[in-house]
Amino acid sequence: MIIKILGILDIIAGFALFLHRFLPENLIMFFGIYLLVKGIMFAMASDIISFVDIACAIAIIISLNVALPQLIISLAGIFLIQKGIFSLIS
């Protein structure tokens, strides 16, 4: 059950990345902190994908102050959406 909830949050975070210019900064910061905390928790269990979560979280947090290239935002968003879908399927 918790995996499905985390999957849904990953999908929402992915879409929030694509729409980050239109959403409030507090919401974007929430998803950045969520991914950072989740990434650190699962990285302690030696889950390699969690390091990508941490990178996505850093990209989200940095994107609030710096205009990142759209390629980085798109790759992070696609990664989060596909990871969330795989979490829902499993």
Q: What is the mean pLDDT of residues 28-51?
A: 87
Average pLDDT over residues 67-88: 90
Mean pLDDT (the chain, rounded): 88
3-state secondary structure of 90: coil
Confidence of residue 37 (pLDDT cuts 50, 70, 90): very high
Distance from the first to the final alpha carbon of the chain: 11
Angle between helix 25-43 and 48-63 (nearest 10): 160
Residue 17 confidence (pLDDT) above 90? no
In sequence order, the 6+-apart residues with CB closer than 8 A to the CB of 64 are: 20, 25, 28, 29, 32
The pLDDT assigned to 1 comes to 85
How far is 61 from 7, CA to CA, in rounded Å? 20
Domain boundaries defined on the chain: 2-89
Q: What is the value of pTM for the model shown?
A: 0.86
Residue 56 has pLDDT above 80, yes or no: yes
